[in-house]
Structure 1
Amino acid sequence: MSVQTSGQLPRHTIELPTLTGVSAVFMWSATVGLYRGISEAFGAVGGSALIFTVSAVIAVLCTGPSAFSALSKRYLIIGGGLFITYETALALAIGYATTRQQALEVGTVNYLWPSFTIALAVWLGYQRADWRMIPGLLLSLTGILWVSSGDRGISFTHIIHNIGTNPVAYGLALIAATAWPVYTIITRAISEGKNGVPVFLTLTAIVLWIKYFSTSQPPLHFNFNGAIMVLTFGVLTTLAYSAWNYGVMHGNLTLMATASYFSPVLSVLMTSLLLHMMPGHTFWLGSLLVTAGSLICWLSTHQTSVVA
């Protein structure tokens, strides 16, 4: 994708569409911290249902009623199913975490998706890569193992014990990490250029409310701080998707893709600020390894359009 430049701007200047797209990465970096804060205020399922209800309302208000038309059945069923799987799995993984530290860990597992996206794109023939993809994937996986070991470095005994204390949360995080790459590639092929996000957010909210009312869940009580976080999350979700789509259409995809690979470290930083906690140095090292592995995977490719 080419980037059109104005005659008044120097060639090295990063244009507004690209900066707009990159801003989505910073907004998404607040996801783990907001998910956790909201789940502590309203419960894992109830909090997630509130999040996507508000996000859906804001997204529909921004796009209008036309958001619910012109989507093919295939895109609605396949794309919507994958989107709901990803968002629900990630929200509940963070909500079901027993501690804030564990919420950070399962949130970092989710950030295997950039490397997984590249690997899937190469496997399906949408993208070419050289030998560097293998060490890149291994480095990202090493980072996840490091994070999952706690503060004692990589130890399979501690990894098994750590995951065994809450296999549901870690399992959901891994499902999220694999669902998003599939969604990214499949919907690129079947969406026909249509934006299904407002519809998918609405369907995600419906699924979560069904789960809330059909299972035993703690009652919802008004919480001022929680309500502010829900509203903030809803606004950020809409702004982030809009900013990313604008950048994809008009900006430099290479720079946007590169920025997205710093998400693990940015997420840890934002989550630490939002939850008033500071992870240990081993956690930071694991996050850096995940980021480095993703960057190496990206460098191994000859094209970046699918990944973005």
Structure 2
Amino acid sequence: MRCDIRPINFETAMTPPPGSSAATALGLLAVIFWSSTVAFSRGLAENLGVFTAACAIYLGGGLLSGMALLAQRKRRRRLAQTTARYWLVCGGSFIVNIVCFHLAVGLAHGRHGIIEVGLINYLWISLTLLLSVPILGKRPRWGLLPGMLAACMGVALATVHNGPFVWAEFAANARANALPCILAFMGAVAWAVYSNFNRRWEAESGGGPTPIFLAVAGMIFLAMRLFVNETAVWNAPVMAGLAATILFPTILAYAFWDAAMRRGNVVLVVSVSYLTPVLSTLINCLYCGVSPGPKLWLACFLVVAGAAQCRRSISDDG
């Protein structure tokens, strides 16, 4: 009996044919993996430090996925064909998202601050749909702006922990957690920009340069780490958490999302992904030891409903 062992073709696995339902399914898996990102990232940041954790996650993810890319001659040749504007716009927005998101999670004040940052991060869903109008030429309907308003109201409500919503408490919480919240919003905008331009310039993306983007983000955090004094606690649970974070929310999630944005049904993937704030908030509450009260679930509902309204207000034509 002859055993014919062939190398795995990662390009085929990660890049299904255009319009493929497999690519759409990969996108859905990506958003499930990302539901645990905030909890994983915060846990590592608390044990290793914000910059050490980010450097380990993204350098590790970039190097491992980069080895798979470099092992395939065809992908190396295609990578050289990536256009300058793709490197600049898609690469830049991808890296800005990573840097802003991880800093927001690591710098968030207290357990409630982590949950707030997580919800702000999920504004990328509505923002992706909103920006698909100017970038992809989608046709908007009247409900688009009310949908965005509802999502933003949900984020604002999540910042008020006790009692009815009052502007004074909202302003006080916003000041206390201002930098992480601003960073989380900037990251959401950057990811919306990346997702849309990645779709628009799919033919210019070469062999899928995601590993390079991850590695560059890791090097940026490494440079930051040189100027910050952090104490890292390395043990078996931390190493296991780091390995899981590198594999699922980093390597597989980004590769799956990239395939979905380039080859799958973008509007379907993004619209289904608006359910992930609920799952992510539940995971974050379990990690933080916070009991999710009615106000927090109402905030989640507004974020989800706002994204759903944005989806209904965007025509898939264009």
TM-score normalised by structure 2 residue count:
0.84
Alignment of 1:280-291 (within 5 A): 280-291=293-304
Partner of 2:242: 230
Identify which of 306, 309, 313 aligns with 1:296: 309
Aligned pairs, number: 294
The equivalent residue for 2:54 is: 48
1:101–1:261 Cα change, 3 Å: same
Q: How many angstroms apart in 2 are the aligned matches of 1:125 and 1:304? A: 9
Distance 1:78-1:256 versus aligned 2 partners, 3 A rule: closer
Alignment of 1:74-89 (within 5 A): 74-89=85-100
3-state SS in 2 of match to 1:92: helix
In structure 1, runs of 5+ residues without a counterpart are 5-14
CA distance in 1, matches of 2:18, 2:81: 28
AA aligned to 1:138 is L
Matching of residue 140 in structure 1 with residue 140 in structure 2: no
| Structure 2 residues without counterparts, runs of 5 or longer | 1-16
Distance in 1, matches of 2:165 and 2:18, equals 43
Equivalent pair of 1:54/1:230 in contact (CA under 8 Å): no
Q: Distance in 2 between matches of 1:85 and 1:234?
A: 18
The 1:74/1:143 distance shift into structure 2, 3 A limit, reads same
Amino acid at match of 1:78: V
Give the conservation status (yes or no) of the 8 Å contact 1:33–1:271. Answer: yes
CA distance in structure 2 between the aligned counterparts of 1:112 and 1:255, rounded to whole angstroms: 17
CA displacement, residues 43-85 of structure 1 (integer Å, 9 cap, x when unaligned): 1111111111121122213323546643333322332221111
Give RMSD over aligned pairs. Answer: 2.4
Give 1:177 shift. Answer: 1.6
Partner of residue 177, structure 1: 188
AA matched with 1:283: L
> Corresponding residue for 2:133?
122
Which of 243, 267, 270 does residue 256 from structure 2 map onto? 243
What residue in structure 1 maps to residue 84 of structure 2?
73
From 20, 28, 32, the equivalent of 1:26 is: 32
Check conservation: 2:52, 2:232, Cα contact below 8 A.
yes
Asked if residue 37 in structure 1 is aligned to residue 43 in structure 2, the reply is: yes
| Distance in 1 between residues matched to 2:118 and 2:317, nearest whole Å | 25
TM-score, normalization: structure 1? Answer: 0.86
SS of match in other structure, 1:93: helix
Worse overlay, 184-193 or 169-178: 184-193
The whole-number CA distance in structure 1 between the counterparts of 2:201 and 2:260 is 20
CA shift for structure 1 position 251: 4.9
Alpha-carbon distance between aligned partners in 2 of 1:16 and 1:182, rounded to the nearest angstrom: 24
Shift of 1:270: 2.4
Is the 1:51–1:234 contact (alpha carbons within 8 Å) kept by the matching residues of 2? yes
Which whole-Å CA distance do the structure 1 matches of 2:131 and 2:22 have between them? 31
Q: How many Å separate the matches in 2 of 1:182 and 1:18? A: 19
Read off the aligned partner of 1:220 and give its amino acid letter.
A
Residue 173 of structure 2 corresponds to residue 162 of structure 1:
yes
Matched, 1:203 2:216: yes
| Segment of structure 1 superposing worse, 283-292 or 218-227 | 218-227
Q: Answer yes or no: is 1:219 the counterpart of 2:231.
A: yes
| Per-residue CA distance 1:110-169 (angstroms, 9 max, x = gap) | 111111122222245611111111211111011011012223343211111112112111
**For 1:220, what is the secondary structure of its paired residue?**
coil
The answer to whether the Cα contact below 8 Å between 2:95 and 2:216 also exists between their aligned partners in 1 is yes
C-alpha distance 171-278 of structure 1, shift in aligned 2 (>3 A)? same
1:102-113 to structure 2, matched below 5 A, reads 102-113=113-124
Residues 76/22 of structure 1: CA separation in 2 closer, same or farther (3 Å cut): same
Alpha-carbon distance in 2 for matches of 1:138, 1:81 = 28
- Rounded Cα–Cα distance in structure 2 between residues aligned with 1:16 and 1:183: 21
Q: What is the CA–CA distance in structure 2 between the aligned matches of 1:239 and 1:127, rounded to whole Å?
A: 29
Equivalents in 1 of 2:197, 2:260: separation in Å?
Answer: 20
Distance change (3 Å), C-alpha of 1:223 and 1:241:
same
Q: Name the aligned partner's letter for residue 217 of structure 1.
A: N
Provide closer, same or farther for how the CA distance between residues 208 and 105 of structure 1 changes in structure 2, counting only shifts above 3 A.
same
